[in-house]
Amino acid sequence: MRVLLYLPNKDVRELLGFQLSSQVKVILREMDSEEDAAGALRKDDAHKQAYEILAAANSEEAANKLSENAEAIDIAIVPGDRTDSVIFGHLKTRKHPVAVIFVYEKSPPDPSRVPGATVLGSVPIQEVVEGVVKLLKSSAEKAVEADGDSEYCPIRTTLLIKAIPLHSDIYIRLSKNKFVKLFHAGMKFTQDDMRKYYETKKVEYMYLRRNQMDEFVTNFRKELMDLVARPSATPAELQETAEVAFEAIHEMIHQLGFTKEIQEVAKAQVAVTLRAVGKNPKLQDLLDGLKAKGDYLARHSTVLAHVGCCIAKEMEWASEATFSKLVIAAMMHDMTLQNHELARINTLTELKERAGEFPPDLVKSYHLHPSKAADLVRSFEEIPADVDAIVLQHHERPGGAGFPRGLTNNYIAPLSAVFIVAHDLVQFMLDRAEKFQLGDFLAQRKTEYSQGNFRKVITALEKMMSAGGAS
Ligand SMILES: [Fe+2]
Ligand SMILES: [Fe+2]
């Protein structure tokens, strides 16, 4: 394990470094320069069970080391008193999780201030040696080496809480390849225990082993169906659950495949979304009341379901069957993409411009994603007709500049036209957030969508705007 040690007081830092080397198995490296530190991290780690300690002399250096070696450092020992420090700033926004031990003088920091970290514990400076040694020893006992992401499936903690009781092990992530078992299989813990843990530690995601997912999948589906049946469920609650559920289903499809059980969960998510959309969806409600809960794809897909149904309603296509088709298509259309940045790209021109940002195999997967998603839809049992066509055509453009087929307006199905404009509109909405104006969208896109079925969609949006639906 690699430990970054930064405490502003040089004496305390050296004392801790020295004591750690005598009490836990460590390889101590005092780094005088960035080159030394980088060199040490590149070196093959022959002592996997030992701690390798990288000391930093100030907050900036510590933050630099942590960001440059994002995946190579497992634990950071840093001061917890000054929440305005550079290192704190780094931990707040970090993408790769790192485990942290805070050393404080006056009071321990609130873990919720550092969402990018897993706080192992906070130690008062008077007990720095005993406290840190104890935390390091216990984390070493519990840490499990894992082969990257493959073995564990992340589930948002708020969702996992709802699926309790579970008889599987639950893990938290220390670093890219290290996970710690938090709750043991068979251990009795309640939703309250878990909620308390979440509230104090603010761990956004917990992990289940891939081969222990069955029980979670069953409970998860039941929870979604209970929510659909609960008369008191509010649209905001339904929408939020739909997003969080999407995220989990997306992850499970990538890790486990689109199994029968996961298809059942996907159907339950569609039912939740359909109830959130309601019979009389309004664009304005969506703009007013929703806060982002899920990741980009989850948000993009669930908002798209809603917007698609708003347009269909305005075009007087508000049947249950149409809404179902649009909601399922929205859920599935980007399901085979994994990279959220790539999912923001809409056209092949944009892809060309940004191709250098992504590995070639990802770029290739982007080209294929509409047809792969359509295949996935076809494997879905009892799915309504036309959904695969909508999914396959979601990146086509009326003038023929889209993909995969470069279809022109006359060859694009009417419901696909609704979906394509809704997809464009959602991107516009999410990019502009509170600055969004439907009028701006219409002004920019009216010419492009001036023919056939696309023209009808634009007319519906104009009607919506003049009725004051979304100014
Ligand atoms: Fe999309
Ligand atoms: Fe897409």
Which ligand has the shortest distance to the CA of 348? 2
Q: How far is the CA of 391 from the centre of ligand 1 (A)?
A: 9
Which ligand has the shortest distance to the CA of 372? 2
Q: How far is the CA of 424 from the centre of ligand 1 (A)?
A: 9
Task: Please name the residue ranges forming H helices in 102-189.
Answer: 128-142, 157-162
Q: How far is the CA of 363 from the centre of ligand 1 (A)?
A: 15
Give the distance, in angstroms, between the CA of residue 370 and the centroid of all CA atoms in the same chain.
21
Q: How far is the CA of 260 from the centre of ligand 2 (A)?
A: 24
Q: Which residues contact 237 (CB under 8 A, 6 or more apart)?
A: 227
CA distances from residue 217 to 172, 213, 223, 259, 265 in whole angstroms, order as listed? 19, 6, 10, 11, 7
Which ligand has the shortest distance to the CA of 300? 1
Torsion from C-alpha of 240, 246, 248, 252, nearest 10 degrees: 170
Q: How far is the CA of 343 from the centre of ligand 2 (A)?
A: 6
Per residue in 193-213, pLDDT tens? 888 888 887 788 889 988 888
Look up residue 191 and give its two tokens.
């939703």
Arithmetic mean of pLDDT over the chain: 83
Q: How far is the CA of 333 from the centre of ligand 2 (A)?
A: 6
Instruction: Supply the pLDDT for residue 398.
Output: 94
Which ligand has the shortest distance to the CA of 371? 2
Phi, psi of 4, rounded to the nearest 5 degrees: -95, 125
Domains present along the chain, CATH in parentheses: 2-142 (3.40.50.2300), 146-209 (no CATH), 213-466 (1.10.3210.10)
DSSP codes of every residue in 39-81: HHHHS--S-TTSEEEEE-SSHHHHHHHHHHTTTT--EEEEE-S
Instruction: Supply the pLDDT for residue 32.
Output: 43
CA angle 299, 419, 443 (to 5 degrees): 90
Instruction: Supply the pLDDT for residue 230.
Output: 95
Q: How far is the CA of 255 from the centre of ligand 1 (A)?
A: 21
Per residue in 240-258, pLDDT tens? 899 999 999 998 998 888 9
In three-state secondary structure terms, 301 is: helix
CA atoms in the 13 A half-sphere facing the CB of 233: 24
Q: How far is the CA of 274 from the centre of ligand 2 (A)?
A: 21
Per residue in 124-183, pLDDT tens? 988 888 888 888 776 665 565 554 556 888 888 888 888 888 888 888 887 777 788 887
- Residue 233 confidence class, pLDDT cut points 50, 70, 90: very high
CA angle 94, 97, 103 (to 5 degrees): 85
Look up residue 234 and give its two tokens.
């509010």
Strand bridging mode 75-79 / 143-145: unpaired
